[in-house]
Amino acid sequence: MIAKNPKIAFAASDADVARQAMLRLVAEYGQSPVEEADVIVALGGDGFMLSVLQSPKGRNVPVYGMNRGTVGFLMNDFDEENLHQRLREAEEAELNPLKMNAVCATGETVEALAINEVALFRAGPQAAKLRVSIDGRMRMEELVCDGALVATPAGSTAYNYSAHGPILPIRADVLALTPIAAFRPRRWRGALLPKSAVVRFDVLEPEKRPVSAVADSRDAQNVTSVEVASDISKSYRLLFDPGHGLEERLIREQFQ
């Protein structure tokens, strides 16, 4: 529950339109330190929202986004009027991120969190060859593809949908495992997995067919294996205007 006159910490992307909006909003509503704020108002696009959520300041404080970017799927419409009322009436969605554990050819391990998806991409001229295991059991001995990804419900309308993966209801306890331009098996469209599943990709012929892995914006180069699992120990709180929450947006996206 947001207070009647909440303490707001404004944050803006590097875009000039976002910076200018922040100056006007701070003049109107004031600026509180993040550690004292009741809510963070993020001004930018989806990429900026993801960076705010994954920063230490976004871990425990609800974040209300206003679109000063392009797509703005995770954002609310921009309006400088009646912000306190909008915050009080906002609906909250709680999201658990994915955790990526990638092992590189150098032996380095890269750990990162992703709210949308963890994706593997071929990093050379030849298709990647991946072995896919779920919860320690090998499910596909060889997937020849441009890549593959594991998406959360919140991220299912992003790159996952572009790769012909399914849109998932926001409260569904499932993950989407989706291939990117699968060559063999040619007709494989992916799989729906329980949220508790641990997905492991082993890169076959990594020297000949190098692969990179990306968790939202954090990447690992020349990976030999990648494990992906939901991290239920962490959660992010997003605020949306009534009737325009993630659940409604996911449904609406399927009827465009």
Q: Using one digit for the tens of pLDDT, what is the confidence trace for 171-211?
A: 889 999 999 999 999 889 999 999 999 999 999 999 999 99
DSSP string, 152-208: -TTTTTTHHHHTTPPP--TT--EEEEEEES--BSTT---EEEETT-EEEEEEESTTT
Structure confidence at residue 59 as a pLDDT band (50, 70, 90): low
- Indicate if 212 and 247 belong to the same structural domain: no
Structure confidence at residue 250 as a pLDDT band (50, 70, 90): confident
In a domain, 2, yes or no: no
Structure confidence at residue 58 as a pLDDT band (50, 70, 90): low
Q: Which residues are known to be catalytic?
A: 46
Q: Is the pLDDT of residue 112 over 80?
A: yes
> Roughly how many angstroms between the first and final C-alpha of the chain, as a whole number?
33
Q: Structural domain of residue 158, as residue ranges? A: 98-230
Q: Using one digit for the tens of pLDDT, what is the confidence trace for 219-240?
A: 999 999 999 999 999 989 999 9
Q: Using one digit for the tens of pLDDT, what is the confidence trace for 20-30?
A: 999 999 999 99
DSSP structural state of residue 76: B
If one counts the domains in the chain, the total is 2
In this prediction the pTM is 0.85
- Indicate if 34 and 113 belong to the same structural domain: no
Q: What percent of the chain has pLDDT over 90?
A: 75
Q: Could you tell me the strand order of the sheet in which 8-12 lies?
A: 8-12, 39-44, 63-67, 236-240, 91-95
CB 2 within 8 Å of CB 38: yes
- Indicate if 159 and 185 belong to the same structural domain: yes
Q: Is the pLDDT of residue 146 over 60?
A: yes
In a domain, 1, yes or no: no
In a domain, 19, yes or no: yes
* Average predicted confidence (pLDDT) for the chain: 92
